[in-house]
């Protein structure tokens, strides 16, 4: 069965630091990849997604992610974080086998002002 | 406004009782999902439905049941067979057929078993 692994459970950074959150998935076929964010007290919402084409995708609020097929990875990046980026981030994968969308365990990001 | 409505927001249940969580969407989406969110566990898929009158088990379906009699509704029943039902439950929908996979989430229902 497909699975998603997020390497960092809790990350603490200072404002203006660069961010990279790791995400790996296990599935050999075609995938759609997602990053979702849950700000404190808010709904889960889509940050960015990859379906096909350019492996470097850009999302909202200056986030981007790169799909590296050979590494089964879809890491999330932001060059300079802000205090308002404090949230929990979830990587998710949808395979071409079914319409299940499987999530990783999440990474709690805490930005120090 | 289009969206997903979950109710109740908070629910308390005694052990041995079944409880049903409601999920309604007016986005005209074909696919609907139920996830369970526990601290440190992320979101785990309970059941999903791609079309009316059809649904599939997710990774943790034991102790849960669903129905999909209408496109806009996908209620989840937490039965007494669920060993550890206290959790936060999220309903979501997506536009099946276009392959977008993007999920739209409700606000969630927090179930506490006393």
Any A CB within 8 A of B27 CB: no
Residue B114: per-residue pLDDT? 86
Residue B40: per-residue pLDDT? 83
Query: Of the candidates B5, B10, B9, which has an alpha carbon nearest to the alpha carbon of residue B24?
Result: B5
Tens digit of pLDDT at every position of chain A (113 positions):
778 999 889 999 999 999 999 999 998 888 899 999 999 988 899 999 998 899 999 999 999 999 999 999 999 999 999 999 999 999 999 887 777 889 999 999 999 98
Residue A43: per-residue pLDDT? 86
pLDDT tens readout for residues B38-72: 988 889 999 999 899 999 999 999 999 999 999 99
Any A CB within 8 A of B33 CB: yes
CA of A37 vs chain B CAs: smallest distance (Å): 11
Secondary structure (3-state) at B93 = strand
pLDDT tens readout for residues B2-19: 699 999 999 999 888 999
Q: Sort out which chain A residues have CB atoms less than 8 A from B43's CB and list them.
A: 44, 90, 103, 106
Q: How many CB atoms lie within 10 A of CB B27?
A: 14
Size of interface A-B (CB pairs under 8 A): 60
Mean pLDDT score across all residues of chain B: 91
Give me the half-sphere count of Cα atoms (radius 13 Å) on the Cβ side of residue A26: 7
Query: Of the candidates A84, A43, A33, A7, which has an alpha carbon nearest to the alpha carbon of residue B107?
Result: A43
First-residue to last-residue Cα distance in chain B: 35
Secondary structure (3-state) at B47 = strand
Any A CB within 8 A of B23 CB: no
pLDDT tens readout for residues B98-111: 456 688 999 999 99
Secondary structure (3-state) at B7 = strand
Judge whether residue B96 has pLDDT over 70: no
């Amino acid at each position: 069965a497909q699975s998603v692994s997020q390497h960092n459970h809790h990350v603490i950074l200072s404002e203006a630091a660069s961010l990279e959150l790791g995400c790996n998935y296990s599935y050999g076929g075609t995938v759609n990849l997602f990053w979702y964010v849950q700000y404190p007290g808010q709904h889960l919402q889509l940050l960015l997604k990859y379906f096909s084409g350019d492996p470097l995708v850009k999302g909202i609020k200056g986030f981007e992610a790169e799909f590296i097929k050979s590494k089964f990875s879809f890491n999330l990046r932001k060059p300079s974080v802000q205090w308002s980026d404090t949230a929990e981030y979830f990587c998710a994968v949808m395979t071409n086998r079914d319409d299940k969308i499987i999530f990783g365990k999440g990474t709690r990001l805490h930005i120090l002002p | 406004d289009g969206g997903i409505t979950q109710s109740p927001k908070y629910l308390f249940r005694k052990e041995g009782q079944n409880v049903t969580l409601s999920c309604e969407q007016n986005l005209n989406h074909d696919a609907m999902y139920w996830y369970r969110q526990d601290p440190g566990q992320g979101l785990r898929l309970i059941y999903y439905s791609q079309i009316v009158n059809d649904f599939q088990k997710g990774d943790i379906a034991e102790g849960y049941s669903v129905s999909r009699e209408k496109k806009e509704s996908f209620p989840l029943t937490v039965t007494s067979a669920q060993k550890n039902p206290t959790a936060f439950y999220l309903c979501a929908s997506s536009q099946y057929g276009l392959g977008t996979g993007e999920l739209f989430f409700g606000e969630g229902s927090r179930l506490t078993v006393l």
